[in-house]
Amino acid sequence: MAIVEAAKEENCDTIVFGRKGKSEVSNFDIGRVPWKVIHGAKKMTVWMVP
């Protein structure tokens, strides 16, 4: 939740996550941290970049 709190303090409206390595869209499992950010960032847009 530190990522969400930092984004709120900076008045951000978008959070972007990237992934290490190559990934196929059909097998796009997000990790625990992005999952928590998605649910914690209620009024922000969250992008996941494969």
Residue-range definition of the domain harbouring residue 32: 2-49
SS3 9: helix
Domain count of the chain?
Answer: 1
pLDDT of residue 13: 96
pLDDT of residue 24: 64
Query: Sign of the C-alpha dihedral, residues 5, 7, 11, 14?
Result: negative
pLDDT of residue 28: 64
Ranges in the chain, pLDDT < 50: none
- pTM (2 d.p.): 0.73
pLDDT of residue 31: 78
Q: Is there a contact between 36 and 1 (Cβ–Cβ < 8 Å)?
A: yes
